[in-house]
A and B are shown apart, each in its own frame.
Chain A
Amino acid sequence: MTGRLLLAAALLFLLAFLASPHSFAGLFQPLIRPNQPAIYTQTPLWSLTLSHLTLVALAVSASTLVALILAVLVTRPAGREFLPLARTITAVGQTLPPVAVLALAVPVMGFGAGPTLVALFLYGLLPVFENALAGLTRQPAQVAEAARGMGLTARQRLWQVDLPLALPVILTGMRLTAVISLGTATIGSTVAARTLGEVIIAGLLSSNTAFVLQGGMVVGIIAILIHQTFQTLERMAARRIGLG
């Protein structure tokens, strides 16, 4: 209960801060040197937040969609040949640092939101794919047997049994992807994507700790909110299938 109250308070604080950052200038005053601005004004914070979130939402939905399709394909008889390869790629892919992937996307995509989106998309594929794969392959054997024995077709089994039962694990994958993307998107500002990273980098360049803190704070609060929302969803989904 206290947890939920804290989250609600964090959300309210975030909305208030984005609506009127200057009302909170006093909070950041102690962090700055004389003559430095306490609040980042180059671009409105709410607009940066919005484009940051759009970027993350686009990347997460795209990676979820593609990863789910791939996971379903490699667990069907026709795609089983790809399964060992797919496992190796996910295992190795997740060791690749997001920053490096982002940097490598620049020569292909140029500067701007493009490489960030591509890096977030590619990196986001892995957790969802890995979790969906686990969810789809670790079904209780008896349930699969009963479904087949009752005459559900392969497609009916996928939609009515396999995917609903894998849902909690898939949501976990989406949560990992969303939180990682949220953090990695800040680095996107180094390749000129419009994200909250802009505020942090401006702070680093002008030695303005207030900027660094407010950028980090907004991203951090959003990350916690997203993390908690997904966890709640996961618990709900798990309870629905009798794991709660």
Chain B
Amino acid sequence: MIEIRNLTKIYDGTAAVDDVSLTVEKGQIAALVGTSGSGKTTLLRMINRLVEPTHGQVLIDGEDTQDIAPHLLRRRIGYAIQGHGLFPHHSVARNIGTVPKLLGWKPEAIRARVDELLELFQLDPAAFRDRMPQELSGGQQQRVGVARALAARPDLLLMDEPFGALDPVIRAKAQHDLRDIQRQLGTTLILVTHDMEEAVTLGDRIAVMDKGRLVQYAPPAEVLTAPATPFVRDLVGQAERPFRLLSLTPASAVARAGQADGAPIPRTASLRDALAECLWSGRDAVPVEGGGIVTLAALRAEAAPTARAAE
């Protein structure tokens, strides 16, 4: 569990981060969203003390980070950044093994861990172990960057716009894989992004930052349906709101008994996928794999919960 208490950073008299408090439960993903200059990256960098707070505390499982030497603290926390920051002069294996080596792991243990991670990220160890970073594609570099951050089995992983340099198709896949791996490992993850879509897709909770202040910290559905300030509402985007909301719920959750024509959609597909399918094929309902259907009426109700509450 990560507890951030009254964290503040002042640069030249201006607060880059202003009295922010929030808690991330173990195994959860918190997405920090905001425009550039909102202080989200500074907040993230104070957690592993790349930036020293002016005041306030960060507790990891109750332990104050100020009591740990910065470089030792950082070896316990995974850190992945935009454009990956791989060491260009080290092979993929050596890059991934950086922190285990710093921690004094045995060479064979490091080797085994590197192969394990490469497998996890769907990179064939035999083919990729000895490659140099510049011989990889952008998506592969990004995966190696995240693998490196996870190498020493950190309980906490910090990510700063990790998918920022990827093209949209690869990005969606990378987000999906990250979510799977995070669930599998049970790592607590704090992620900085300026992309609300990404925050909604990945975050268990979203923290919206504006001018250094935390303006809302809530589950995605709440941020979408009950934005705390006009700023949050603008960030969510009026036009996008219903679709984002639909993307939060899997089809299986609202499927009810019934009969519909056509090919079924997977149970894990989101309601947004179900809507797209309905519109594209001109149907009023689509079947869901394993039984049940999702109707346009049900989709309409899910997409506008505020309208429903007002009735």
Q: Quick check: do A and B touch in the complex, using CB within 8 A?
A: yes
Measuring CB to CB, which residues of chain A are less than 8 angstroms from any residue of chain B?
A: 140, 142-143, 145-153, 156, 160-161, 164-165, 240-243
Say yes or no for B233: interface residue by CB 8 A criterion.
no
Sample 23 A-B pairs with CB under 8 A, ordered by A number. Answer: A142-B84, A142-B85, A143-B86, A143-B88, A146-B79, A146-B81, A146-B85, A146-B86, A146-B145, A147-B85, A149-B74, A149-B79, A149-B81, A150-B74, A151-B73, A151-B76, A151-B99, A151-B102, A160-B87, A165-B89, A241-B88, A242-B134, A243-B88
Distance from B114 Cβ to chain A, minimum over Cβ atoms (Å): 15
Interface centre among B82, B84, B87 (most CB of A within 10 A): B87
Nearest to B149 among chain A residues (CB) is A150
Say yes or no for B71: interface residue by CB 8 A criterion.
yes
Distance from B55 Cβ to chain A, minimum over Cβ atoms (Å): 22
Distance from B170 Cβ to chain A, minimum over Cβ atoms (Å): 19
Chain B residues near A149: list those with CB within 8 A: 48, 50, 74, 79, 81, 85, 158
CA distance A164 to B132 in the complex (A): 15
Residues 15-50 (chain B) with a chain A CB within 8 angstroms = 48, 50
Distance from B53 Cβ to chain A, minimum over Cβ atoms (Å): 16
CA distance A201 to B183 in the complex (A): 79
Give the 4 A-B residue pairs with the shortest CB-CB distance, closest first: A146-B85, A151-B74, A149-B79, A151-B75
CA distance A148 to B87 in the complex (A): 12
**Given A161-B87, A240-B89: A150 touches B50 (CB 8 Å cut-off):** no
Structural contact, B82 and A142, CB atoms closer than 8 A: yes
CA distance A148 to B71 in the complex (A): 8
Say yes or no for B6: interface residue by CB 8 A criterion.
no
Structural contact, A145 and B134, CB atoms closer than 8 A: no
Structural contact, A148 and B74, CB atoms closer than 8 A: yes
Say yes or no for B133: interface residue by CB 8 A criterion.
yes
CA distance A153 to B103 in the complex (A): 12
Say yes or no for B72: interface residue by CB 8 A criterion.
yes
Distance from B310 Cβ to chain A, minimum over Cβ atoms (Å): 47
Kindly identify which residue among A140, A148, A150, A242 contacts B99, using a CB–CB cutoff of 8 Å: A150
Nearest to A154 among chain B residues (CB) is B71
CA distance A151 to B83 in the complex (A): 19
Distance from A140 Cβ to chain B, minimum over Cβ atoms (Å): 8
Chain A residues near B82: list those with CB within 8 A: 142
Structural contact, A242 and B84, CB atoms closer than 8 A: no
Interface centre among A143, A146, A152, A243 (most CB of B within 10 A): A146
**Given A142-B82, A156-B102, A242-B132: A164 touches B74 (CB 8 Å cut-off):** no
Structural contact, A145 and B132, CB atoms closer than 8 A: no
Structural contact, A143 and B71, CB atoms closer than 8 A: no
Nearest to B99 among chain A residues (CB) is A150
Nearest to B72 among chain A residues (CB) is A151
Distance from A201 Cβ to chain B, minimum over Cβ atoms (Å): 46
Kindly identify which residue among A146, A152, A156, A241 contacts B89, using a CB–CB cutoff of 8 Å: A241
Chain B residues near A143: list those with CB within 8 A: 85-88
Say yes or no for B140: interface residue by CB 8 A criterion.
no
Residues 129-153 (chain B) with a chain A CB within 8 angstroms = 132-134, 145, 148-149
Say yes or no for B65: interface residue by CB 8 A criterion.
no
Say yes or no for B98: interface residue by CB 8 A criterion.
yes
Chain A residues near B81: list those with CB within 8 A: 142, 145-146, 149
Chain B residues near A153: list those with CB within 8 A: 71
Residues 63-101 (chain B) with a chain A CB within 8 angstroms = 70-76, 79, 81-89, 98-99
Chain A residues near B145: list those with CB within 8 A: 146
Kindly list 18 other residue pairs between chains A and B, CB separation below 8 angstroms, not including A140-B85, A142-B81, A160-B87.
Answer: A142-B82, A142-B83, A142-B84, A145-B85, A147-B85, A149-B50, A149-B85, A150-B102, A150-B149, A151-B70, A151-B74, A151-B76, A151-B99, A152-B102, A156-B102, A165-B89, A240-B89, A242-B134
Structural contact, A150 and B88, CB atoms closer than 8 A: no
Structural contact, A152 and B85, CB atoms closer than 8 A: no
CA distance A172 to B102 in the complex (A): 31
Distance from B277 Cβ to chain A, minimum over Cβ atoms (Å): 40
CA distance A142 to B145 in the complex (A): 11
Distance from B155 Cβ to chain A, minimum over Cβ atoms (Å): 15
CA distance A153 to B70 in the complex (A): 9
Structural contact, A147 and B87, CB atoms closer than 8 A: yes
CA distance A165 to B86 in the complex (A): 12
CA distance A61 to B217 in the complex (A): 60
Chain A residues near B102: list those with CB within 8 A: 150-152, 156
Chain B residues near A165: list those with CB within 8 A: 88-89
Chain B residues near A146: list those with CB within 8 A: 79, 81, 84-87, 145
